[in-house]
A and B are shown apart, each in its own frame.
Chain A
Amino acid sequence: MPEKYEAMFRSAEMSLVQLYIPQEIGRDSVYSLGDQGLVQFRDLNTKIRSFQRTFVPEVRRLDNLQRQYRYFYKLLCQHDIKIFEETEEEVPKGTFRMAPRSSKIDDHIENGSLIEERMVQLVEASEQLELRKSDLEQFRHVLQAGDEFFANAAGFSHSESQDESIPSSVSFVTGTIPRAKAGTLEQILWRVLRGNLFFKHVQLPEPLYDVKAKTTVLKDAFIVFSHGDLILQRVKKVAESLDANLYDVSDNAGARSKQLNEVNSRLADVYTVLDTTNTTLETELYAIAKELQVWNSEVAREKAVYETLNLFDYDSNRKTLIGEGWVPKDELNSLQGQLARLTTSMGVDVPSIVQVLETNKCPPTFHRTNKFTDAFQNICDCYGTPSYREVNPGLPTVVTFPFMFAIMFGDMGHGMLMTMVAGLLVFYEKTLGKMKRDEIFDMAYSGRYILLLMGLFSIYTGFLYNDMFSRSLTLFKSGWKWPSHWELYETIEAKSVGTYPFGLDSAWHGTENALLFSNSYKMKLSVLLGFVHMSYSYMFSLVNALYFKNWIDIVGNFIPGLLFMQGIFGYLSVCIVYKWSVDWIKDGRVAPGLLNTLINMFLAPGTVEEELYPHQAKVQVFLLIMALICVPCLLLIKPIHYKLTHPDNAYESVTSNETSEETVAEHNGAVAKAGDDDDDEEGTGHGEEFGDVVIHQVIHTIEFCLNSVSHTASYLRLWALSLAHAQLSTVLWTMTIEIAFGMTGVVGVIMTVVLFTMWFVLTCVILVLMEGTSAMLHSLRLHWIESMSKFFVGEGTPYMPFHFEPIDVESMKQE
């Protein structure tokens, strides 16, 4: 097997292949391809509607099965039964796995229907029983309440007529009603019967199942006494319209207790049956819970296979499926091997044929990432997928992203905290990888290598800034010497005796003018690093142009742009370094301000007030003229070149009718051809007009010139954020833990503990987490805007090979 191309600097070379697969092994072939994830299939049937395709019946059957599985899952959730989850082991690449036999899938389908039928029956039965139960329970409640009603009613009649029973002309209606509607019922009845009634209701202790609401609601039992059948009918109608359930209750206490006994025994029966039904249902559900995930993933795969097969062209005469797709060029052999192995193991006479097609279609972009580079690549892909074979910005991002972050986050202590967390994530990555992770944690986990590098670089930059939790270290001998003696509170100034070899001199820590020095240092540092970062990125545009043999881009875009940028900002950077390396005090000269130098270079060319070096005026005038010449070059070279290489087609199509007709015909032809070709917008060289070229170039020129200024300024955020970070950690230190240092005794102990906790928690939350997030976002912006705008085209489409994804239980949730 030939060595695979690493495909990190540029995307992998892709080839378009055509697969001729005998119909009888079509399913198995696609299965084995899905295991490997090699091919991104193109849709060859865009003209055919989705429901007219070859394998629609199969997909429908599987859809139905998946619906059944979702139903089972819903039942499982309702009954609080945990699904038995098995983590699928990853299939290592290159292994060969046979597709499950299609009879197995048929079994699944049969089983699914059977189980569904049974489930529906059981669920219906249990719902019916549930209804019966609630009905009987309400009856029982009404009967129990009846005692109270009649006792009261009897009490009334007793006082008046001394009679035990109610007069026979008085009849009554009893029933239950949702508590909220009891008042309404009473009011309506009062009006309808003109007050000619006796209404009584009691609250039932427990909520009862209501058919309409489909849940349990609180109910009241009520009784209405009134005269006459007609009126009673009316009362019944009103009550029923308010969702009341009516029950016939005898007014005789003896009959009532008999009724009650009867109801109780029926209720006991219902309870038993309901219990059995539910047990059966749950037993079946437990059986399903064990298998459901396996079934679901098998069916999901089967469906994915048929959906892929639907993209194939089916030749019914030769019983052949024809598929077309993109494969990395260096994996062609393994694709062929895979199909050959399948053919031999299936024992089919007709082999599958792989044929490489010549095409002018733009292939998808495929970078082979590993667990380390994946997160970095994602950062860049978020902004845009690189064009096919373009320099991949994800590769330099691996270093520049964490480093730019570290410049803003420079503190050894904070860097160590971050490294420790990231180190844990990396160390336990296998265990954590299998765990279920929530969204935030998953973000930290997938970015663990970014975090690790950010932490490590932060330790380094913190070392250079000489900051550890805002304290400084004295690792080397200071380059400054304080006077040999001084009075208390006397302002003293140190004398330079050497240069601190690594990082900022610790003598600066806590001095009055420390900020003055560190500001000047950090500002220049960020301009220099910004310039280096941008120039580095800009060089990739040269690499791209050389690779695509795009000479006009080098001459018309790269060289003028380079001269413009280097002439102004390259010169500034050189001046900064030059000014640093000259010993102005020893030479007894005034050190010129660089900012004024740069401003005067534009405003008053040819005059220099304080000279940085001899012949400075001439050099600056030369650079200025060069930069100015570059602007028209940037603007004109490409359009002029276009004009020269594409002569006169703009005029002819207007002047001569014949040619315009021809172009129309050609255009139609192109449309027809595109139609034949099924899809894909990219025809052969869709004509870029001269006007387009000019407008594009004008925009590019303006953008480039303005951006070279604004992007350089934008890198000053490195200075601002690192300054803010350092100041914030100093403030936190002085306001919390430093207070505890002077105290002694018990108070001292308590204060130290409390203030240390406060300091540590705030350090983690504000300085590491919040500041870290903000620095990360700024670093992200520096990459997306400042760096990638220098070379990135980003018109690619991502390579998405057909590959079985691990199926999650959650996928059954959506309806």
Chain B
Amino acid sequence: MSFYTVVAAFLVVSLVSVVFWFLAPKENQTVWRSTVILSLSMMFLMWAFTYLAQLHPLVAPRRADLRPEFAE
């Protein structure tokens, strides 16, 4: 679990995108390609930023309202 997870996910998404580029349906090909690949990349970016933001956190969750029974 580190920065390389993001790199790996990036490679997977790029691979899927490239594969889809060639497998896109013939009818409305431009729309299919653009829509699917752009969706994949935006979803990847958003996931990656969320993941990276928690990779090396500088603040830790803090609370005072947990009951002691909750302890594992």
Contact = CB atoms under 8 A, between A and B. Distances in A.
A binds B: yes
B55 A581 contact: yes
Contacts of B51: 499-502
Interface string A583-595: 1111000010000
Given A483-B71, A494-B61, A580 B56 contact: yes
Contacts of A9: 30, 34
Contacts of A107: none
A6 interface: yes
Interface stretch (A346-354, A395-403, A638-646): A395-403
A492 B52 CA distance: 25
Contacts of A65: none
A71 B39 CA distance: 55
B19 interface: no
B42 interface: yes
Contacts of B59: 513, 516-517
Contacts of B43: 460
A8 B45 CA distance: 25
A482 interface: yes
A77 interface: no
Interface string B5-34: 000000000000000000000001111001
B37 to A, nearest CB: 9
Given A400-B42, A488-B68, A512-B62, A479 B49 contact: no
A569 to B, nearest CB: 16
Contacts of A191: none
A491 B54 contact: no
A705 to B, nearest CB: 26
Given A486-B66, A529-B45, A495 B60 contact: yes
A490 interface: yes
Contacts, number: 148
Interface string B44-72: 01110111111111111111111110111
B31 A512 contact: no
A482 B57 CA distance: 15
- Tell me which of B54, B58, B59, B68 has the highest count of chain A C-beta atoms within 10 A of its own C-beta: B54
A499 B54 contact: yes
Interface string A380-408: 00000000000000011011100100010
A138 interface: no
A585 B50 contact: no
Nearest to B1: A499
Contact of A489 (B3, B58, B64): B64
Interface in A586-626: 586, 591
Contacts of B58: 584-585, 591
A620 to B, nearest CB: 22
Contacts of A403: 39, 42
Contact of A395 (B34, B47, B50, B53): B34
A520 B49 CA distance: 12
Interface residues of A, number: 68
A11 to B, nearest CB: 12
Contact of B61 (A6, A399, A514, A524): A514
B63 A512 contact: yes
Nearest to A410: B46
- Tell me which of B34, B51, B52 has the highest count of chain A C-beta atoms within 10 A of its own C-beta: B52
A581 B53 CA distance: 8
Contacts of B72: 481-482, 484
Interface of B: 1, 3, 28-31, 34-35, 38-39, 42-43, 45-47, 49-68, 70-72
Given A492-B64, A502-B47, A525-B46, 18 more contacts: A6-B29, A8-B31, A9-B30, A398-B31, A398-B34, A399-B38, A460-B43, A482-B71, A485-B68, A489-B64, A494-B62, A496-B60, A507-B61, A511-B63, A517-B59, A580-B52, A581-B55, A585-B58
19 contacts: A8-B28, A399-B42, A479-B54, A481-B72, A485-B71, A488-B67, A488-B68, A491-B63, A491-B64, A494-B62, A500-B51, A501-B51, A502-B51, A504-B50, A511-B63, A517-B61, A528-B49, A529-B45, A585-B58
